[in-house]
Amino acid sequence: MTRSIREPQALSAIQLPFPEMDRSASLFTALQQRKTTREISEAPLPLQLLSNLLWAAWGVNRGTGLIAGNVYLFVAAHGLAAWFHNCDKTGLGQRLGLRAEQRVLFAQSIGYPEKL
């Protein structure tokens, strides 16, 4: 499946709810269910789920490092799809309006699994 890249839209800040610290998901279950899924729906995530995901992605449990593993575990625990991949780093950085000292290393697409 080939997806087209949408034209950039003006970015505006959104108010997210505080992340919920739901500890009901088992680490072992998340590890078992973790996988790469490239077919991701364009359906938007609810703001609470997005807030929780961004908390996991922020890497609050350590100062630095690649947080893709945190995201994969969160995604698996919540029945979402994820794909860690290379991308047009320069083009994405420009579309995101990154400053000169900021850079894109990789992309990690996340959403609901596409119903095929």
Please give the residue range of the domain that contains residue 83: 27-111
Q: Is residue 20 part of a domain?
A: no
90-102 per-position pLDDT tens digit: 998 998 888 989 8
Q: How far is CA 8 from the centre of its chain?
A: 18
Q: Please give the Cα distance from 87 to 96 (Å, whole number).
A: 13
Domain contains 4: no
Q: What's the number of domains the chain is made of?
A: 1
- CATH number of the domain bearing residue 88: 3.40.109.10
Is residue 44 assigned to a domain? yes
Using alpha carbons, select from 110, 113, 2 the residue that is nearest to residue 49: 110
Residue 45 has pLDDT above 90, yes or no: yes
**Is 0.75 surpassed by the pTM of this model?**
no
Residue 17 lies in a domain: no
**Rounded distance between C-alpha atoms, residue 58 and residue 54, angstroms:** 6
7 confidence band (pLDDT: 50, 70, 90): low
Asked whether residue 22 is domain-assigned, the answer is no
